[in-house]
Amino acid sequence: MSRPIQASIDLASLRHNYGIAKDRARICGKSSKVLPVVKANAYGHGLMRVANALRDVADGFALLDVGDAVSLREAGFSQPILLLEGFFDEADLAACLQHQLIPAVHRVEQFSMLRRQAATGRLPVFVKLNTGMNRLGFTADDVSDLRKALAMTEAVSDVTLMTHFAEADGAKGVEWQVERFDAIRALWPECRNYAVSMANSAALLRYPETIADVARPGVMLYGGSPFDDVSAADLGLEPVMTLSSEVLAIHDIAAGESVGYGGTFVADRPMRIGVVACGYADGYPRHASTGTPILVNGVRTRTLGRVSMDMLVCDLTEISDASVGSPVVLWGRGLPADDVARAAGTICYELFCALARRVPVVEV
């Protein structure tokens, strides 16, 4: 028998969540495009699997790796494909030109590379503005150099201005960054007719005024909530990935007995515990401590002690019908990944992206 752990990917739920993103985009009353973000192997869900599921509905795709973008083109995807970090060298730029990819441009040197390739063709670009995230992009101080570089670059066909929100999911919100975005545009009169792309998942759901021409939802597509105070279910989102396994063994332990490496959990009463076929080598967070939620026979219980490489332990004391072979959900359908991530001190993005290659994946 094969090891019982597996990840199930619900493609109907993926399409449902994309539909919610599209519905939100319509709130602004514009014909806004919604580019699903499929970077990091579609947040661990499988690039080609996700892209194929959205092939007939997606307005385009956004990702990082040029090779992944080329793979989509070779698989017959004709929609716009945005490279969120742009091109890194001349070879990347040549691939962009050959396959008509849309690079983000976030430093002046990239315009120099575009000029050197001008004879090859022209490309639309997303010019990234740094409005407070302080990772990539041009600030107000860079506007003069940016305008000159763009004016000198005939290889650019169309321009979309983009920025990324740092706290759309938090108390600070987006207004301060929108103000900086508008301030940069005020210094750049010829940009007033450029398209705009600002909204990520959190902004799409909470700040419809930021939706503009192109939205770039990520985690919401996969059934995760971008907010600490609002569940995915309350947003109408459905889980796409369900990580499941089974109980391998059951033990009765006495008060005072410890569980797992380091004996970090000590029973304060007689307990019934279950060993589950899932560990950190499968992508489950090793730092998930006692109390992380887990579902056994459809009943919510808790993990006990440290997560091992291939196994973890859970509390079955109150689940009388649990036995060897009982189904276990680590996260997904019936147990939000957000709840597991919160208990483990992380975010659902990390859970999804960390899914190990050894875990079999099935589509449902």
Give the three-class secondary structure for 114: helix
pLDDT of 28 above 80? no
When the pLDDT of each residue in the chain is averaged and rounded to a whole number, the result is 96
- Rounded Cα gap, residues 260 and 311, in angstroms: 10
At 31 the pLDDT is 78
Instruction: Give tens-digit pLDDT for 260-313.
Output: 999 999 999 999 999 999 999 999 999 999 999 999 999 999 999 999 999 999
Q: From the centroid of its chain, how far is CA 5?
A: 23
Q: At what angle do helices 11-26 and 47-54 cross, to 10 degrees?
A: 60
Q: Terminus-to-terminus CA distance in the chain, angstroms? A: 22
- Positions marked active-site: 39, 261
- Rounded Cα gap, residues 216 and 33, in angstroms: 9
pLDDT of 1 above 60? no
Sign of CA dihedral 69, 122, 31, 189: positive
- Rounded Cα gap, residues 8 and 108, in angstroms: 44
- Rounded Cα gap, residues 58 and 179, in angstroms: 30
Q: What percent of the chain has pLDDT over 70?
A: 99
Model confidence pTM above 0.85 = yes
> DSSP secondary-structure letter at 249?
E
Neighbour-count burial for 277-306, b at 16+ CB within 10 Å, e otherwise: bbbbebbbbeebbbebbbbbbeeebebbbb
Name all domains of the chain by residue range, CATH numbers in brackets.
11-224 (3.20.20.10), 241-363 (2.40.37.10)
Report, as an integer, the average pLDDT of 175-184.
Answer: 97
Phi, psi of 68 (to 5 degrees): -65, -40
Binding residues for substrate: 135, 309
Residue 202 tokens read as: 């959190």
Q: Say how many C-beta atoms besides its own lie within 10 A of residue 16's C-beta.
A: 16
pLDDT of 339 above 60? yes
Binding residues: 135, 309
Beta strand 293-296 pairing with 327-331: antiparallel
